[in-house]
Structure 1
Amino acid sequence: MSKPVKEYITNDLKSRWDGVSDALLVDVAELEANDTVALRKQLREKSIHLLVVKNSLARRATEGTSLGPAFEGLGGTTAVVWGAEDIVSLAKEVTKLADGKDFEKFETKGGVMDGAKLSPEEVKQVSKWPSRTEQLSMLMGQILSPGATLSGQLLAGGANLASQVKQISEKEEE
């Protein structure tokens, strides 16, 4: 590959990964063509991108970025997966695909999260964390819970009083 072509590909990778801080590395080399098309379609539906890259060009494109550690010491065929809502959602999807029976030869090679390199085992651990949406719902529950409890306690006294007044008025009517 000529130097201008390498430079062009490197610049293209830099522009694609601009603003991306979390990504996972997978191996899709042994998948059949139809399986690869089905895999890409499944990922695309969830706003996840998959790109097979040459390791040396990826290293050159991510040099000095938060994605850089992912490509250190990497060998063999590599595909980069990025996107989704957050790294946890991405890890959940990749782990589900790697453990599933649809794509048996699909495997996780690691990744990077906030500039820290992840091993395949760490990717599985991250996939067990609550996603961003789940964390936000838990946080909202914790924020709203004291208010709901206080509201219930304040309204309970008034409800009890109204019930007693109603009972007294019913007795007087009899």
Structure 2
Amino acid sequence: MLKRAEKEKLVADLRERFGTAQAVFVTGIEGLTVAQMSELRKKLREENTHYQVVKNTLLRLASKETPVEPLTNYIEGATAVAIAYEDPVAVAKILTEFAKENKKFAVRGGVLSGKGISAEEVASLATLPTKEVLLAQMLSVLQGPPAKFVRLMSGILQKFLFALEAIKEKKAQAEAA
């Protein structure tokens, strides 16, 4: 049993984490083994995500009057939260893949940019490309117009040079004749 001071410290720590999080996901962990939880924590740690089992009342207290308050709609039973600090899409992918592999694990929902998202929305978030892939796609789109402009300008210059060469050859033929 946690003492009151420990509970207050835990609530304050969670509030602080919620303030810096990009997304928070609520998961059901009933029936998972310690080995399965360790495996999940390891995967999430690689994505700079904090994963913690929390009592429901403490989680409700910690989320009260914070941007992640909508997550209280998904709190029931044995609960853990995944607090994503960087890439919510990568975390959603890890959680949905883990849920497919472990039938006892469930993603109940979460909060993304202050808005509550259901388990179905978390699953659709997991289908999006990662942040790095999206940035690469955007960069390729931004590179397109300047590259086309350079090719266009070099084509004009090339045609001009061909025209000058043709005039030079014509003059050489006229002088030779």
Regarding TM over 0.5, the answer is: yes
> What do you get for the CA RMSD once the two structures are aligned?
2.6
Q: How does 1:64-143 map to 2 (within 5 A)?
A: 64-72=65-73, 74-83=75-84, 85-99=86-100, 101=101, 103-143=102-142
Amino acid paired to 1:70: L
Return 5+ residue gaps in structure 2 as ranges: 173-177
Counterpart-to-counterpart distance in 2, 1:32 and 1:43? 17
For 2:85 and 2:63, locate their aligned partners in 1 and report how far apart those are by CA, in whole Å: 20
Partner residue in 2 for 1:62: 63
The alpha-carbon deviation at position 14 of structure 1 amounts to: 2.1
CA pair 73-161 structure 1, distance change in 2 beyond 3 A: closer
Deviates more, 1:56-65 or 1:140-149: 140-149
**Alignment CA distance shift 1:88-1:165 (3 Å):** same
Aligned partner of 2:44 in structure 1 is 43
SS of equivalent to 2:66: coil
Residue identity matched to 1:109: R
- Do the aligned partners of 1:110 and 1:117 also contact (CA within 8 Å) in 2? yes
CA contact (8 A) 2:51 2:80 kept: yes
Q: Deviations over 1:111-159 (max 9, x none)?
A: 0111111111111111223333233222222222111111111112323
Aligned equivalents of 2:107, 2:80: Cα separation in 1: 10
The question of whether the paired residues in 2 share the 8 Å contact of 1:14 and 1:62 is answered with yes
Name the counterpart of 1:17.
18
Query: Alpha-carbon deviation of 1:73?
Result: 5.9
How many residue pairs align between the two structures?
171
Q: Which of the pair has more CA radius of gyration?
A: 2
Which has the higher mean CA deviation after the structures are superposed, 28-37 or 48-57?
A: 28-37
Q: 2:49–2:85: 8 Å Cα contact kept in structure 1?
A: yes
Deviations 1:57-105 (A, max 9, x none): 0111111111111023621111101226322222122112222x3x342
Paired amino acid for 1:111: G
Q: Percent identity?
A: 29
Structure 1 residues 65, 113: CA separation in 2 closer, same or farther (over 3 Å shift)? same
CA contact under 8 A between 1:111 and 1:123: conserved in structure 2? yes
Alpha carbons 1:21, 1:66 under 8 Å: kept: no
Matches within 5 A, 1:23-34: 23-34=24-35
TM-score, L = length of structure 1: 0.82
Q: Is the 8 A contact 1:59 1:71 kept in 2?
A: yes
Provide TM-score, normalisation by structure 2.
Answer: 0.81
Aligned to 1:156: 155
